[in-house]
Amino acid sequence: MVISEIFIIAAVSVFGASVGSFLNVCIYRIPASKSIALPGSFCPVCKYSIPFYLNIPILSYIILLGKCKSCHTPISIRYPIVETITAMFAAATFLKFGLTVEALFWFAFISVLIVISFIDIDLQIIPDILSIPGIFIFALSPLIVESMSLKDSLLGILFGGGSLYLVAVTYYFIRKDEGMGGGDIKLLAMIGAAIGWKGVAFTIFCSSLLGTLAGAFIMVATKKADAKLRIPFGPYLAAASVIYIFKGEAIINWYFGILS
């Protein structure tokens, strides 16, 4: 790897961490119906307005030892985690797609998935303000992604939203209870808009597998096998779709290679 490429990766990672800082704002403010633009960053406990030199992604958390400079209230470890994850995906999209519009498209898509995932983990909701506009925005994928067509994107929307809607209706008919939230349905429609119907099929299978493994682990860890667990499904859908973007074709080819 040449020095210039290392420099670009470092610059892209710094950009990603900065975006991650903004994603933290979105994760906190969007569910509360607050502006993501104003006011600037502040401590939610003492309302201390954080100056720019104490708002450096990842580094500020380390420098402040994970505490607010004003009131010394502990800062959630989630902030540097989100910033680090976003920085890593910024670098990953560059390494796979280069400095291209397609790389920017996928990074924007993944950034939205990060916000949705952490909100779903916290509150078990997926805000319509993210998923519904996302369906239309990421339906632009045929204009940006060479392997995508308008037909693929439209079928992805229909297959994504329709498949989970059918699951939700069937579950409610059998159990008389809501097993799949409307937010998950709209999220998968958004995912389908970006990665097409094949990507949706992969996402459904992979997310179900991830969710099953995670659910089993949680039941064993908490020793509550008989309890009815309410596990947000959005993060698994997001994770599976990201896996498809980076390794989906290779995994599918490997899988069918085993069968043949």
Residue range 130-135: average pLDDT? 96
Contact 10, 1 (CB under 8 A): no
Better-scored residue on pLDDT, 163 or 96: 96
Residue range 18-46: average pLDDT? 93
CA 111 from centroid of its chain's CA atoms:
6
Which residues, 6 or more positions from 151, have their beta carbon under 8 angstroms from its beta carbon?
none
Q: How far is CA 20 from CA 25, 147, 154, 234, in A?
A: 9, 28, 30, 19
The three state secondary structure string of the chain is CCHHHHHHHHHHHHHHHHHHHHHHHHHHHCCCCCCCCCCCCECCCCCCECCHHHCCCCHHHHHCCCECCCCCCECCCHHHHHHHHHHHHHHHHHHHHCCCHHHHHHHHHHHHHHHHHHHHHHHCCCCHHHHHHHHHHHCCHHHHCCCCCHHHHHHHHHHHHHHHHHHHHHHHHHHCCCCCCHHHHHHHHHHHHHHHHHHHHHHHHHHHHHHHHHHHHHHHHHCCCCCCCCCCCHHHHHHHHHHHHHHHHHHHHHHHHHHC
Per-residue confidence (pLDDT) for residue 215, from 0 to 100: 82
Per-residue confidence (pLDDT) for residue 171, from 0 to 100: 62
**Among the listed ranges 48-57, 134-143, 225-234, 249-258, which one has the minimum average pLDDT value?**
225-234
Per-residue confidence (pLDDT) for residue 52, from 0 to 100: 87
Q: What is the pLDDT of residues 141-198, one digit of tens each?
A: 999 999 999 999 999 999 998 887 777 677 666 665 555 668 899 999 999 999 999 9
Confidence at 239, pLDDT banded by 50, 70, 90: very high
Residue 228, pLDDT > 60, answer: no
Per-residue confidence (pLDDT) for residue 118, from 0 to 100: 97
The burial of 95, by beta-carbon neighbours within 10 Å (0-12 exposed, 13-18 middle, 19 or more buried), is given as: middle
* 191: its two tokens: 């995912």
Which residues, 6 or more positions from 11, have their beta carbon under 8 angstroms from its beta carbon?
none
Contact 129, 112 (CB under 8 A): no
Domain ranges of the chain: 1-99, 100-260
Distance CA 140, CA 50 (A): 37
Per-residue confidence (pLDDT) for residue 172, from 0 to 100: 62
Q: Which residue in 13, 230, 1 sits closest to 125, CA to CA? A: 230
